[in-house]
Chains A and B, each alone.
Chain A
């Protein structure tokens, strides 16, 4: 079992039982108590639980403040790590774009103490950064795509005229040799085409489950971006392809 699966399982148990026990967990997953403690440390940092003697309890207070989108997301750990790597690439004074989705939301969570400008068409990302003093947040406006927090349409595109972006982080739903990078809707793809015109650098972010998959609307070839941030579990042939095509591929390994 991968560490991430284990952490997600721990979260499930926490939701259900509201408490966990280090010794029990170490038996359940056949890993050392040290490993379990490391997992709990990680979850505590995220504000998910509060550690107690020999275990931990669910941090219920924090639950209400959270947007509920990630509770059934089983790759949230991978996305969190992608967010961490991405934040290393952003320097003070830059203007960045964050595309809609939970992966870019994780980037937002990791950049709160920087002094930058963030442009986004995701309402949740804008909201996430509401208290960050050093960050100027610009939300595009536009039509809200039903049941999402994504803004799109010609009104959104208009708001992008006349601005320039240093680094655009684009979350995609599909990465595939044949279909290239794909996203869920045609409207989203149109926005990203506009972003490509005004950005210095495009950085693709996608957790490993997006590989070998195709979503509805195509953004472009796998060579359209010179940097990709993903996870170590990505199929080797993609790692080869990126390296051979001089695309920098960042994957996440978890050592603390």
Chain B
């Protein structure tokens, strides 16, 4: 007894499907309790029950020793429970302070007027406390995804949250943002907040969590003290049986080598990386956050410079790279969404698509708007993008935004595509589309380097898998040799054979 939060014997059915079975879970003030498991293990469902989004078919919840009933999100909020979802739930057109105080703005004494001074000063106080360099009056759609996460955390705290649930908060964050998030989590611990942290990144859990609970297929596998448990043990508990393959992989005959990297090193963050990719092939690159997989993409595309070693495109050796050179030689970088690198969110779809190759629609240096519209309409149709060419990109769903990034690179006739987190944060139906778009690209003779933290996607789609750890390639698998467990083992620093 004595836990701040106790969930007892929680069972949940969707139709006839048992998605959670007799789950016990606890959380304590000032501690992080990590919840891990593969996709579909029931982590998010369990937490949605706590947040009042779903109701359990069976089981009890106690807070501070008192039994509570949570039947909707409002009741959860009144009990001090706040959930921060994978996809941000902010109003993109409102500013930071408005988002934080929405629907409960402080009123001026005796008047039914919103006390705006107080809204902004309170917001600034929170931003200061966490050392965040964000303007309280900045519109949310100008913030990076990481910054938006921080705004959501502040919103939760300002609602007097005592339990904060974070669902894979680092999935779309940069490495720096992840560091900042961890700092904020430490600050929240000091404030006595109970934090529940859903993740499948074991390195993160080692760093910030006190306890870890493993779920698999809706069953509770165990709860462990992080300081006592061996990484390998958690990996084993998580992986269980291999999940069924659902990825539309096409076996395509591999042609000539399009890209080769020899002994690539960069600022001590990448060391001696060598690999090659052929026509029709998907090379998967995975690793935990901080492993250098995203840095590698940026070095290849010439964003991070300089490097040692060589990059060979189509047989041509490059000792130095920049994005223009990369594009001219058929290499492109399909960034993850929300990283504010891939799209100009407040520009129309058409502009985003044609931006990287204005030459194609220009005559004697003048932009031909009519030509732009035609080419863009053609791409929108071919990729099934649900949007008009003049719609503002920010208003599109994640799946459609991702397709716009693909359209942009199809427009430049790229042959080697570095695709980062191809399906993170997008709906299932767009996911299926993206995989099939990748297939078509391969059929037309392209090469793909898929950088992803989604292991089942990597296992399902790639011909070869490169596992990175601390800026080095620590293991290369052929498609048939790899399993989730093996990848996790090497990615988290395991050596030798398993």
Contacts and interface: CB of A to CB of B under 8 A. Distances in A.
A232 B251 CA distance: 20
B7 to A, nearest CB: 26
Given A243-B431, A254-B382, A249 B248 contact: yes
A232 B410 CA distance: 17
B248 A250 contact: yes
Contact of B432 (A84, A239, A246): A239
Interface residues of A, number: 33
A200 B151 CA distance: 53
Contacts of A1: 381
A63 B249 CA distance: 36
Interface string A49-87: 000000000000000000000000000000000001100
Contact of B246 (A30, A91, A232, A243): A243
Nearest to A91: B251
Contact of A237 (B246, B377, B384, B429): B429
A246 B440 CA distance: 21
Main SS of chain B's interface residues? helix
Given A88-B443, A255-B441, A248 B382 contact: no
B245 interface: yes
Contacts of A32: 371, 374-375, 378
A240 B427 CA distance: 9
A84 B250 CA distance: 11
Contacts of B210: none
Contacts, number: 89
B355 interface: no
A255 B410 contact: yes
A145 interface: no
A240 B443 contact: no
A253 B436 contact: yes
Of the four ranges (under 10, 10 to 19, 20 to 34, 35 or more), the interface on chain B belongs to: 20 to 34
Contact of A253 (B251, B431, B437): B437
B433 interface: yes
Contacts of B252: 88
Contacts of A246: 243-246
Interface in A229-256: 232-233, 236-237, 239-240, 242-256
Given A255-B382, A255-B410, A243 B428 contact: yes
Which of B246, B371, B427 is packed against the most chain A CB atoms within 10 Å? Answer: B246
B404 to A, nearest CB: 15
B227 interface: no
A31 B378 contact: yes
A141 B35 CA distance: 60
Interface of B: 243-252, 371, 374-375, 377-378, 381-384, 410, 427-429, 431-433, 436-437, 439-441, 443-444
15 contacts: A30-B377, A31-B377, A32-B375, A35-B378, A88-B252, A232-B384, A239-B429, A243-B429, A245-B246, A248-B248, A250-B248, A253-B383, A253-B384, A254-B382, A255-B444
Interface of A: 1-3, 30-32, 35, 84-85, 88-89, 91, 232-233, 236-237, 239-240, 242-256
Given A30-B374, A31-B377, A85-B250, 12 more contacts: A32-B374, A89-B250, A232-B384, A232-B436, A240-B427, A243-B428, A246-B246, A250-B248, A251-B433, A252-B440, A253-B383, A253-B433
